[in-house]
Amino acid sequence: MTINTAFMIQTFLDVLAGIPVTLELTFITLLVSFPIAFFMALQKLEKKKFSGKIVSGYVSFIRGTPVVLQILFLYSLLPTILNYFIKEVLNLDVDIFALNPIIYAFVVFSLNTIAVLTEVFRSALLTVEHGQLEAALAIGLNKRQAYARIIIPQAVVFALPNLCNATINLMKSTSLAFMMTVKDITAIAKVNAAYGYNYIEAYLVISVLYIILCTVVQFGYGAVERYFSLYKRISTN
């Protein structure tokens, strides 16, 4: 077994160009999914409501099927739908097949992440004791104020560890973006590797890169957690 170190260094330099793509995919997806998932979590908490049932079904479906399948399905569906919509409905002359495929990646990963975050938010909201809401109402806050000032700030703290997990899982999922011809870290490594059959070297290099990115994300969440959980940290001292 021989390891081609020169190739590894070259690949490392090449895949650096993919880091912004991987980060973009991760964080823009999170940003888009966040408010939608929060709204959906509130719906899901009201089980009797019809909207709550729809949300439950959606979450169950997305979380019960592989991401790779969601990617393959939407990547063969979205372009044709978009094409039809632009050509036939809007009557525009746009070549949608020249669009940056990252758009499809955003759609797929957001649809997936919304379901994941809905569960994260729902369980975090459930963790806040019911008495907190009662006390807020009893001193005259309305439901919106109670949620904004008492329930959500506490739920955020409970949600952070799961949010961190969700972010890492999302970042790992973006490694499948190459299936939509998006040039992220994994896609670049794959191209480099195929050229001279240096698969092991290429994938070892990006493993290290993913570990570094993952570490940065965890540090970030650690800092946020320390900031938010002042009242909790004190109790553990």
Partner 1 sequence: MLEIRNVYKAFGNNQVLNGVDLKVNKGDIIVILGPSGSGKTTFLRTINFLEKADKGTIDFDDIHTELQSASHKTINKIRKKTAFVFQNYNLFANKTALENVTEGLIVARKVPKEEAIKRAKDALDKVGLSERYDYYPSQLSGGQQQRVGIARAIAVNPDVLLFDEPTSALDPELIGEVLSVMKKLAKEGATMIVVTHEMSFAQEVASRVVFMDGGVVVEEGTAKQIFTAPKEKRTEQFLRRIVRDYDYVI
Partner 2 sequence: MRPFHPAYIFEVLPQLFPYIGVTIAVTFGTVLGGGLIGLLLAAAKIKRGRIAKILVNTYVYLTRCIPSIVMLFIVYYGLPELLMVFGIDINNVHKAFFVITTFSILFAANMSEVFRSAYEAVDKGQREAAISIGMSEFQAFRRILLPQCTVYAIPNFANALVNLIKEGSLAYTIGLIDIMGKGQLIIGLNMGSYSLETYLSLFLLYWILTIISEKSLKLLEKRLLQGKKILHTAG
| Interface ranges with partner 2 (CB under 8 A) | 1, 60-61, 63-69, 72-73, 76-77, 80-81, 84, 168, 172-173, 175-176, 186, 199-200, 203-204, 206-207, 210-211, 213-215
Conformational region of residue 41, where left means phi above 0, alpha means psi within -120 to 50, and beta covers everything else: alpha
Q: Does 131 bind partner 1 (CB under 8 A)?
A: yes
Q: Which does 207 bind (CB under 5 to 8 A by kind): partner 1, partner 2, none?
A: partner 2
Q: Does 207 bind partner 1 (CB under 8 A)?
A: no
Q: How far is the CB of 180 from partner 1 (least distance, A)?
A: 42
145-184 footprint of partner 1 as x/- string (CB under 8 A): x---xx--xx--x---------------------------
Q: Which of the stretches 64-72, 98-106, 134-142, 214-222 binds partner 1 when contact is defined by CB under 8 A?
A: 134-142
CB contact at 8 A, 94 and 82: no
Q: Which does 186 bind (CB under 5 to 8 A by kind): partner 1, partner 2, none?
A: partner 2
Tell me how far apart the alpha carbons of residues 206 and 16 are, in angstroms, rounded to a whole number. Answer: 10
Residue 127: name the closest of 219, 14, 45 by CA.
Answer: 45
Q: Does 4 bind partner 1 (CB under 8 A)?
A: no
Tell me which DSSP letter residue 175 carries: G
Report how far apart, in Å, the C-alpha atoms of 119 and of each of 20, 37, 48, 140, 157 are. 28, 8, 17, 30, 15
Which tokens in the block code for residue 139? 């001193």
**Site residues, partner 1 (CB under 8 A):** 129, 131-132, 134-142, 145, 149-150, 153-154, 157, 230-232, 234-235
